[in-house]
Amino acid sequence: MTALKNDRFLRALLKQPVDVTPVWMMRQAGRYLPEYRASRAQAGDFMSLCMNPAFACEVTLQPLDRYPQLDAAILFSDILTIPDAMGQGLYFETGEGPRFKKVVSTLADIEALPIPDPQKDLGYVMDAVSTIRRELNGRVPLIGFSGSPWTLATYMVEGGSSKDFRKTKAMLYDNPQAMHLLLDKLAQSVTSYLNGQIKAGAQAVQIFDTWGGNLSAAAYQEFSLAYMKKIVSGLIREHEGRKVPVILFTKNGGLWLESIAEAGADALGLDWTCDLGNARARVGDKVALQGNMDPTVLYAKPEAIRSEVGRILASYGKGSGHVFNLGHGITPEVDPEHAGAFLRAVHELSAQYHE
């Protein structure tokens, strides 16, 4: 494999010295870019984009071609590929988001679920990873990812997105045995899926626990964090002669940073509701931190964006162990010029913290 020309993202995740704070954006390959919209139109629909390795590679590289400041590429895919491979029948409804043809509602439904084989059942993702890695040619590291078991379970039980997770939470409290079986199967699936991505060329992996923050403190520990710990303990942590960092991101998980920091990952993703300096004080040297600008700041003028970047960098302070990112994904209506101003500001303003 080609040597990395820019490894500051991986170095920061391992708390090693860097020259500037590395930066990437969740959903950096997405609808805010006109070139992405053109590729999606050409592919026909979102799933055709995901399931064609050439298209997935094309849209993964688009933000890097536009923004030379990006310090990482992230695989273009969807968190719901695993439930789809379990036979749930993923499709996307205009204006409605992801939906499943089948829902999981009983213990028998869960017992019948297969654990997907990454090569046979999700081979298109593995092909996309290897294609992207080859085309990157060492420019920046490639991030692989998956949804967390709890987050995937909510979509499988609800049949799609939900505001209140009433079916999922009813199952959690009424039938915890069924919920634990579902989460255990998903943890096994996520572990083999991420290990497949690492073998195919992913150089870091992130687990997106989008809906963990909707649980009570006790339920979060038992039904979300416990299964992410299980995954982390089963991941390949060294490949191609270097460490493969793992990032855990629980949206609205700021109350539980100390326990997430004990989960065995190398870094925690933070949403914008956390104060970065306070989070650093709470977790100490256990983990690196990733985040955490409010994505809606990108609707503001470039000088306001630059000011907010400066405030967040100052909050973290001197030293490595910080990867700059948004606190959640970039939104479709953002002006690409504003995203560029954000990325430039991170590199320009962060050098002083790495002397």
Would you list which residues are annotated within the binding site for substrate? Answer: 27-31, 78, 155, 210, 328
| Residue 155 designated active-site | yes
Determine contact, residues 130/198, Cβ cutoff 8 Å: no
Q: 107 Cβ partners below 8 Å, 6+ apart?
A: 175, 177, 178, 181
Amino acid at position 18, single letter:
V
- Candidates 37, 43, 73, 72; CA nearest to 55 is 43
294 catalytically annotated: no
Residue ranges for the known binding site are 27-31, 78, 155, 210, 328
Catalytic residue chosen out of the listed positions 7, 11, 36, 78:
78
Phi, psi of 265 (to 5 degrees): -80, 170
Q: Other CB atoms closer than 10 Å to residue 273's CB: what's the count?
A: 14
Report the alpha-carbon distance of residue 61 to residue 51 in Å, rounded: 16
Q: What is the number of residues in the chain?
A: 355
Residue 280's CB is within 10 A of a number of other CB atoms, namely: 21
66 is catalytic: no
CB 334, CB 298: distance < 8 Å: yes
Residue 282 catalytic? no
Is residue 36 flagged as an active site residue? no
- Tokens representing 245 are 């960092």
Distance CA 128, CA 143 (A): 12
Listing DSSP states for 286-324 in one string gives: S-EEEEEE-GGGGGS-HHHHHHHHHHHHHHH-SSS-EEE
The conformational region for residue 99 under phi > 0 = left, psi -120 to 50 = alpha, else beta, is beta
Report yes or no: 225 and 212 within 8 Å, Cβ to Cβ.
yes
Say how far apart CA 321 and CA 328 lie, in whole Å: 19
Among residues 37, 40, 66, 237, which one is catalytic? 40
From 27, 280, 306, 344, active-site residue: 27
Among 36, 67, 155, 220, the one annotated catalytic: 155
Q: Which residues does the annotation mark as catalytic? A: 27, 31, 40, 78, 155
